[in-house]
Structure 1
Amino acid sequence: MSMYRHVYDRGGKNLKLPTVNITIQNSIFSEALDLYSHAFGATIGGHNCMFNRNLFASNICRNASVGMDGTFNFVNNVVYNWWSRTIDGGDHKSFYNIINNHYKPGPITMELKDRPCSHRILKPEPRRDKNLPTLFGKAYVDGNIMEGYPEITKDNWNGGVQVFEEETCGEYTDKIRAYEPFEMPHVTILPTDSVMPYVLANVGATLPRRDAVDTRVIETVRTGKAIYVDNAPIVTSPYQERALAPDSYKKGIITDPRQVGGLPEYKGTPYKDSDNDGMPDDWEVKYGLDPHNPADASADCNGDGYTNIEKFINNIDPTVKVDWTDPRNNRDTLDV
């Protein structure tokens, strides 16, 4: 996923501006295809943005990459089976909150177990100016688990935060390290030892049930072992030589979905939707909408700020107006 800026056209030169006010949560970023040594998880960032309770699994790099200045909030995520990069990016104007995440090296990580990247939590980047190559931003890094490295789990700054290709921040530690988190959007921060079980139980599309792909990915994280098919096809690019071995799928890094069983074929019976507005007739009739008027999908029948089709998707009762801006009303409305 790449979500850290947008192009704004106000009649003159297009401006590349940061994303603002977004939350990415409960999502799976896994098994990016590595045909071009580019199996990257995500480039994310922006202003007033939160990334929490996500799973990054079996991507060689960008787990995740910080693509914009300002405060980067990375809280209660699970990162598994990276190769050469976990969190990196940003610049001297970046402020990192890296709090209570769980890092679990996997089979492909072990190929580089003698290199700093095998136990890296964060690698902040300096200013992009050859005249000021050691001007960094600030980082609050605390409460993160690095499996297999108890000394880093105990003190994240004891080898978990690195600059350049060094084992630590060395002489730059005092300039980079912050002892209090930077201001960030409100989020309930889980205790670190709860992160792995919570994320594995809740991440992704779980209702009514996970599909075969997500189920398999979750199992690889749980066991620490790659799952692949016998006699899987070796798929390579004719244009670029990969950094990894052709059979890297045996360690979780794939070049073709067939190496891990392929993609499932979804089957089902569609509900009756006479006006093709995305809402079933019986739901519209139940709540007093017109099953023959496609325009009512984008209407808001009770003035709560959500369109009718959003109410249907999220199982919101459109006969009851709720103030969703009040955090006390934030609850799971789905009952599948």
Structure 2
Amino acid sequence: MYMKHLLLLLISLSFTWVNGQTPAFPGAEGHGRYVTGGRGGEVYHVTSLNDNMSEQGTLRWALNQPSPKTILFKVSGTILLSSPLKINKGNVTIAGQSAPGDGICIGNHPVSVNANNVIVRYLRFRMGDGDLANADGSDAFGSRDYSDVIIDHCSISWSTDECASFYGMTNFTMQWCLISESLRLSGHSKGPHGYGGIWGGKNATFHHNLMAHHDSRTPRFGPAVSTQTEENVDYRNNVIYNWGGNGAYGGEAMNINIVNNFYKPGPATPNGAKRGRILAYDKKIDLSAGDGFYPINNQWGKLYVSGNVVDNSTSSGSDITHCNNATNNNWPYGIYNQIHSRYSISAAEKEQMKRAIPYEKGWVTTHSAINAYEKVLEHAGASLARDDHDSRIIEETRTGTAQFKGLSEHNGKSTETVDGVTINWKSVGYPHWGIIDSHYDIRPADAPVDWTPWPILNSAEARDDSDKDGMPDAWELAKGLDPNDPLDGKQATLDAEYTNLEMYLNSLVATITSDQYEGGVGGTTSLAPQTAAKISMHPNPATKQLTIAGHAPMRSITIYNQSGIDCQSQAANGQTTSALELTKLSPGIYFIRVNYENGATHTEKIIKR
């Protein structure tokens, strides 16, 4: 009978892992959630804060060892690099939460992911501008044109270009990161910078991140040549504070969800319409046939925009109206009004930019924008042991303030000729509070002689680990494992999905993982109203149709396969019931998403046999 061929499993997608895939760790979400990293591989311990490839126990040495591997830390503190650090060997997990004490910071030079299948958690990347000869125009942490990467709970600051750029990525997630204080007049050869990041990719997710104190690119949605015709980005529940200059812009020919983000203007944010900026959308024009981006020449992308909030608490006068307008009407005030005046855009073109239903997001637990603001301030960054820098950034974001500003002698200047060379500093009206020029600009007035911008990270005594499998002896004994068996960390005897070593590493941050997603909704796209309206599904054996009954007027219904591909869509036209024809669907697992007229969504899983 038809009833036997259509088994409905009404299960919250927050807890559904399909096709036998295991998340990288509990709380891993988005398009990079199934990265395996170093699962089941060898364990290497970082025991020294030195930076020496030939010295066993350094991070650089550990990264150069064969993969798959998991890198753990038996020391806390700051690793001051002597040269850029590249993660060139994939199939690796770098577990910063394993450090005893206050955790790990990596400084002085940029760090990049140049490999596939990489997990990075609970680390700090604070580059600085102390060695511009070797780090001119560098990102503190970034990657481009790689796949299967997830960055979780990292703190990133003090870049001379962008703090955190990840684009051209495939199956990527950056989540719960704190990205702050890029350096504006730091000696970049191209002039003033101070940028947050370039973000994009083919199935790339950016959620629950904080960007604070950047002069521009918060973020710059950027296609890469490698992914320009397949860009699919989900951007939700991020908090953006104190943007200057252009703020968020770009998105040329990209497909982007912009959902439930929280924007808070600060002392560096311009007055006027930019106060309500969600995105200054753009396209590439007038490209020659030989240009690498010619395939997307003169093409707008499509955006799904919903539930974003622009906070008005730091504004006054007419700026309050700009914030309120953008909150109440995301599209006209946060998007359309931000597009450059050089474009003459018809009403029809505007409608073509607008996506009625969201793109596949890779299943992210979603909060309202206001709830996301609180969650991000509580948990973003290397929050297992927050350092003084992150604590200050959080407090400044919460209070709408900034303690420091740029101290470069070139602030206030336009052009200047030095040794016959004319330089455009573009700095009339600067400095602005929160936008610094060097990491040394944050030096307190009463700082001691031996002060350093890198926060002090105290180390604790590493726990005994007799067999060096990464799991402390006491923990192994408590779990019934053998502290003298070096192989049981690779086994999965405590859980069907994770190795015993992963179980230990996950336990170190279990409270944060649980708390950060509390109050969110899995498998939904917009929380307006706060909870998603549910649906009822009724198969009809005679007609081989599935009737969807909503609890409110429905706008549309879409069926996706496990890869997130849209297999079937139909308009519901405000009705509360709608019939789906399923005869063309092959046997397998599908997800049915209902989009309601009031902005709420709900998704259920079905198995067609």
Matching residue within 220, 232, 238 for 1:65: 220
CA separation of 1:275/1:51 partners in 2, compared to 1, >3 Å: closer, same or farther? same
Instruction: Give, in whole Å, the separation in 2 of the partners of 1:29 and 1:289.
Output: 39
Question: In 2, distance between residues paired with 1:298 and 1:79?
Answer: 40
Structural mapping, 1:31-46, within 5 Å: 31-34=181-184, 35=186, 36=188, 37-46=192-201
Aligned to 2:507: 315
Q: Is the 8 A contact 2:494 2:503 kept in 1?
A: no
Work out the CA distance in 1 between the residues paired with 2:492 and 2:457. 31
Counterparts of residues 199-218 of structure 1 (less than 5 Å): 199-207=376-384, 209-218=385-394
Provide the residue aligned with 2:471 in structure 1: 279
Residue 45 of structure 1 aligns to a residue whose secondary structure is strand
CA contact (8 A) 1:235 1:256 kept: no
Taking the aligned partners of 1:196 and 1:221, their CA distance within structure 2 comes to: 10
How far is the alpha carbon of 1:108 from its aligned partner? 1.3
What is aligned with 1:120? 277
Q: 1:133 offset after TM fit, Å?
A: 5.2
Which residue is 1:159 aligned to?
A: 333
Measured in 2, the distance between the counterparts of 1:164 and 1:333 equals: 38
Residue of structure 2 in register with 1:304 after alignment: 496
Is the 8 Å Cα contact of residues 296 and 308 (structure 1) preserved in structure 2?
yes
Distance in 2 (CA, whole Å) between partners of 1:308 and 1:244 is 54
The answer to whether the Cα contact below 8 Å between 1:2 and 1:43 also exists between their aligned partners in 2 is no
Report the Cα offset of residue 62 of structure 1.
2.1
TM-score, normalised to structure 1, is: 0.76
Identity level (%): 31
Over 3 Å counting, the alpha-carbon distance change for 1:119 and 1:169 in structure 2 is: farther
CA distance in 2, matches of 1:284, 1:168: 64
Which residue in the other structure is 2:261 paired with? 101
Residues in 2 aligned to 1:263 and 1:169: alpha-carbon distance in whole angstroms: 48
1:253 corresponds to: 435
Stretch of structure 1 that moved more, 304-313 or 129-138: 129-138
Partner-residue secondary structure (3-state), 1:24: strand
Stretch moving more, 274-283 or 192-201 = 274-283
Instruction: Give the one of 306, 317, 324 matched to 1:150.
Output: 324
| Partner Cα separation in structure 1 for residue 266 and residue 342 of structure 2 | 20
Q: Match for residue 141 of structure 1?
A: 305
Q: What do residues 139-180 of structure 1 show as CA deviations (whole Å, max 9, x unaligned)?
A: 112221223321121111223114652399842312212232
**Over the residues paired in the alignment, what is the CA RMSD in angstroms?**
3.6
Q: CA deviation at 1:293?
A: 5.5
Task: Report the structure number with the largest CA radius of gyration.
Answer: 2
d(CA) in 2 for partners of 1:222, 1:191: 17
Q: How does 1:210-229 map to 2 (within 5 A)?
A: 210-228=386-404
Measure the CA separation in 1 of the matches of 2:259 and 2:276: 16
Q: Secondary structure at the match of 1:86?
A: coil
Answering whether residue 332 of structure 2 is matched by residue 332 of structure 1, we say: no
What is the CA-CA distance between 1:128 and the residue it aligns to? Answer: 5.8
Change in 2 beyond 3 A, CA 1:167/1:206: farther
Residue type at the aligned position of 2:441:
Q
Secondary structure class of the residue paired with 2:203? coil
Cα–Cα, structure 1 residues 188 and 236, in superposed 2: closer, same or farther, change >3 Å?
A: same
TM-score by length of 2: 0.44
CA distance in 2, matches of 1:304, 1:18: 34
Paired position in structure 1 for 2:240: 79
Find the counterpart in structure 2 of residue 12 from structure 1: none
Q: Answer whether contact 2:410 2:427 (CA < 8 A) is retained.
A: no
Question: Relative to structure 1, is the Cα distance of residues 267 and 140 closer, same or farther in structure 2, using a 3 angstrom cutoff?
Answer: same
Report the Cα offset of residue 126 of structure 1.
Answer: 1.8
Q: Deviations over 1:90-144 (max 9, x none)?
A: 332x21111111111111113xx24x54432112332465378542011112221
Q: Identify unmatched segments of 5+ residues in structure 2.
A: 1-140, 149-166, 289-295, 312-319, 412-417, 444-452, 517-609
Distance in 2, matches of 1:235 and 1:301, equals 61
Matched, 1:267 2:428: no
SS in 2 for 1:81: strand
CA 1:304 to 1:140, structure 2 compared with 1: closer, same or farther past 3 Å? same
1:233-275 residue CA offsets vs partner (Å, 9 max, x unmatched): 6488999764447973x61112333322422111132223345
Deviation at 1:61, TM superposition (A): 2.1
1:75 to 1:4, Cα distance in 2 relative to 1, 3 A: farther
Structure having the higher strand fraction is 2
CA distance in 1, matches of 2:220, 2:486: 41
Number of aligned residues: 304
In structure 1, C-alpha distance between the alignment counterparts of 2:515 and 2:367, rounded to whole Å: 22
1:173 aligns with 2:350: yes
Displacement of 1:88 in angstroms is: 2.7
- Report which stretch shifted further, 301-310 or 152-161: 301-310
Pairwise CA distance, 1:332: 2.9
Paired with 1:220 and 1:254, the residues of 2 have a C-alpha distance of 14
- CA distance in 1 between counterparts of 2:433 and 2:205 reads 31
Which AA in structure 2 matches 1:222? R
What is the CA-CA distance between 1:302 and the residue it aligns to?
4.2
